[in-house]
Amino acid sequence: MDATFDAFEVFEIAEQIERNGARFYRKAAQLFDAPAIRNMFLELVNWETKHQEVFRDMKKQLSDKNSELPTAGAQDAMFTPKAMAGLAVFGIKPDPADELTGRESIVDVLKKAVKKEKDSIVYYTGLREFVSPQQGKDKIDDIIKEELRHIRILSQSLEQRQ
């Protein structure tokens, strides 16, 4: 029997990833007085909020359609529902904003942010295997591209400080 994802669970996890990402960046912005750093983190908050809205809209569109997403196939065992849930680092683990104590350097925060963005990309790459073009695969591709852009921005900022 093929395992299935409940589409609402998949997109709720994706929404939570983005919601937690926005909270992480909002808290990071509060930790530093430098306007350039603060603005970079606040811009990331805005992008994560927009991504959350995309996933909310995708979930809403599915409400009138089939609420299950087929699995990618038995040969792709890494894309099982259990494995996908485990990949949702920003989503289902404790609030990542709580990881920021205020004692971290900007380098520490940037490194954490890059890792979390990479983890999000892994989740979305797996998610896209379950989403058909009709269900919005191109939107997930767009979000992956934007998350890659976030990594570039964060990495450039990190390189300037090391």
User: What is the model's pLDDT at position 131?
Assistant: 74
Q: How buried is 10 (Cβ within 10 angstroms: 0-12 exposed, 13-18 middle, 19+ buried)? A: buried
Cα distance between residue 94 and residue 17, in whole Å: 11
Cα distance between residue 80 and residue 67, in whole Å: 17
User: What is the model's pLDDT at position 25?
Assistant: 94
64 DSSP 8-state letter: T
Domain ranges of the chain: 4-65+73-161
* Contact between residue 66 and residue 109 where contact means Cβ atoms under 8 Å apart: no
Write down the pTM of the prediction: 0.77
Cα distance between residue 110 and residue 154, in whole Å: 6
CATH number of 4-65+73-161: 1.20.1260.10
User: Over the chain (162 residues), what is each successive 10-residue block's mean pLDDT?
Assistant: 55 83 94 94 94 85 60 48 54 70 92 91 82 78 90 94 84
